[in-house]
């Protein structure tokens, strides 16, 4: 029976997902790690978003990791990638574009999201914003 290096898939690029990827790389130098996020950025500090909104902190100071950091550690960061299915029987993650990522271990670290405002007239309104992501903050600015 052929063996393979362990395959990890992590859904979510926040502090939990990125720290997990970093730890896995240290513990298992030969494994494959796919870190999947629907956002276009590597890890950034969500706690710093209010200071970025105020103009006190530039965007580059909000960033915690960059793409080179992932490349140097052989962590495959897939940005702007939406996971649409997880088949636990076949141990595969499927993305909106149809990519399949088989895994031996899966971590779902997708974080929390603000619930849309549920009041009459709010649905479809263009001037009601959430304040969770870097893109949310840029939209408000």
Going from N- to C-terminal start, the domains of the chain cover 7-113
Cβ burial of 77 (10 Å; 0-12, 13-18, 19+) is: buried
What is the pTM (predicted TM-score) of this model?
Answer: 0.87
Residue range 18-29, pLDDT digits in tens: 999 999 999 999
| CATH class entry, domain 7-113 | alpha beta
Beta strand segments in 61-124, E: 75-78, 83-87, 92-95, 100-102, 105-108
- Spatial separation of the C-alpha atoms in residues 52 and 60, rounded to whole Å: 10
Each residue's pLDDT, cut to its tens digit, for the chain (141 residues) gives 456 799 999 999 999 999 999 999 999 999 999 999 999 999 999 999 999 999 999 999 999 999 999 999 999 999 999 999 999 999 999 999 999 999 999 999 998 877 777 888 877 777 777 778 898 889 888
């Amino acid at each position: 029976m052929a063996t393979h290096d362990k395959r990890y898939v992590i859904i979510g690029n926040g502090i939990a997902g990125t720290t997990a990827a970093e730890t896995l790389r240290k513990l298992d130098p030969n494994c494959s790690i796919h870190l999947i996020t629907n956002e276009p950025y590597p890890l950034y500090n969500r706690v710093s978003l209010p200071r970025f909104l105020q103009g006190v902190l530039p965007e580059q100071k909000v960033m915690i990791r960059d793409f080179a950091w992932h490349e140097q550690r052989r962590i495959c960061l897939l940005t702007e990638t939406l996971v649409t299915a997880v088949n636990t029987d076949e141990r595969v993650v499927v993305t909106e574009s149809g990519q399949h990522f088989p895994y031996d271990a899966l971590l779902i670290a997708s974080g929390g999201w603000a619930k849309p405002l549920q009041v009459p007239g709010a649905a479809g309104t263009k001037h009601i914003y959430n304040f969770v992501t870097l893109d949310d903050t840029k939209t408000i600015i």
